[in-house]
Amino acid sequence: MASETIRNPQTDQLLTPENSAFIIIDYQPIQVSSIRSMPHDELVFNIVSTAKAAVNYKLPIIHSTVNVATGRNKPPIQELQDVLGHLPTYDRTSINSWEDTEFKQAVKAIGRRKLIMTALWTEACLTFPALDAIQEGYEVYVPVDAVGGTSLAAHEAALRRVEQAGAKLISRVQMYCELQRDWAREATVPGFMDVFESFDGFNPEKANEAAKGPANG
């Protein structure tokens, strides 16, 4: 068995490490604590895993915060700083990050049209820049299990709104698999396995080893 020749990674219709960028907005203590669309610890697990995947596939990453410089808000949660602390953050006062000059310039400077966008809350800090980016010709992908709203109803209504505008709704695991695409691309397989573990502890690599049973002696 042999895989096809790798398609042009810049023009591939699917997400590739060469045609996409990762946007992460406002995973700060106040925002995390206000989420009601999923358990807080599950949300943190999912966004940290998603951020690790972005690092593993060497995606350009734009990390934005709100109101840190004004003293009204705190920096990103420590779990994310442990993963993304080596990168700059674009702090702003606008609820819509697309209305922040430095943030928008940073996104445009990357030169990639596929944006994997995550934010808290779904109904505001995700929806507004997603709608604006789509209007300007970007393709927006939203890992729905790595974002959250102030209620389940608010979260789901926001996802419907951005989807109706043209956003692609994906899951964090779909993101990993789409970027990996082929097990023969061995350089990123270890990082893939590290983030594939689910919140409930399921790990496909460990499950595969268990299914093989004890080694023959």
- 47, 145 in Cβ contact below 8 A? no
Which pair of tokens denotes residue 74?
Answer: 């705190």
Kindly provide the residue ranges of all beta strands, DSSP E only, lying in 134-198, ordered along the sequence: 139-143, 168-170
Is residue 1 assigned to a domain? no
- State the helix-helix crossing angle for 40-56 and 172-180, rounded to 10 degrees: 10
Q: How many of the other CB atoms lie within 10 Å of CB of 104? A: 18
The CATH number assigned to the domain holding 178 equals 3.40.50.850
Is residue 162 assigned to a domain? yes
Place of tokens 């674009």: 90
| pLDDT score recorded for residue 194 | 84
Which pair of tokens denotes residue 127?
Answer: 């929806």
Is residue 43 assigned to a domain? yes
Place of tokens 């994906």: 170
Is residue 9 assigned to a domain? no
Is residue 3 assigned to a domain? no
Domain total of the chain: 1
| pLDDT score recorded for residue 199 | 66
| pLDDT score recorded for residue 103 | 98
Task: Tell me the three state secondary structure of residue 14.
Answer: coil
199: left (phi over 0), alpha (psi -120 to 50) or beta: alpha
Residue pLDDT tens, the chain, 217 long? 678 888 999 999 999 999 999 999 999 999 999 999 999 999 999 999 999 999 999 999 999 999 999 999 999 999 999 999 999 999 999 999 999 999 999 999 999 999 999 999 999 999 999 999 999 999 999 999 999 999 999 999 999 999 999 999 999 999 999 999 999 999 999 999 888 776 666 555 554 554 455 544 4
What is the reported pTM?
A: 0.91
In whole angstroms, what is the distance from residue 22 CA to residue 56 CA?
12
In whole angstroms, what is the distance from residue 205 CA to residue 90 CA?
37
Is residue 4 assigned to a domain? no
| pLDDT score recorded for residue 216 | 46
Rg of the chain, C-alpha, whole Å = 18
Is residue 177 assigned to a domain? yes
Which pair of tokens denotes residue 18?
Answer: 């060469």
Provide the residue range defining the domain that includes 177. 20-198
In whole angstroms, what is the distance from residue 65 CA to residue 45 CA?
19
- 40, 182 in Cβ contact below 8 A? no
- 93, 70 in Cβ contact below 8 A? yes
Which pair of tokens denotes residue 203?
Answer: 């790990």
Is residue 157 assigned to a domain? yes
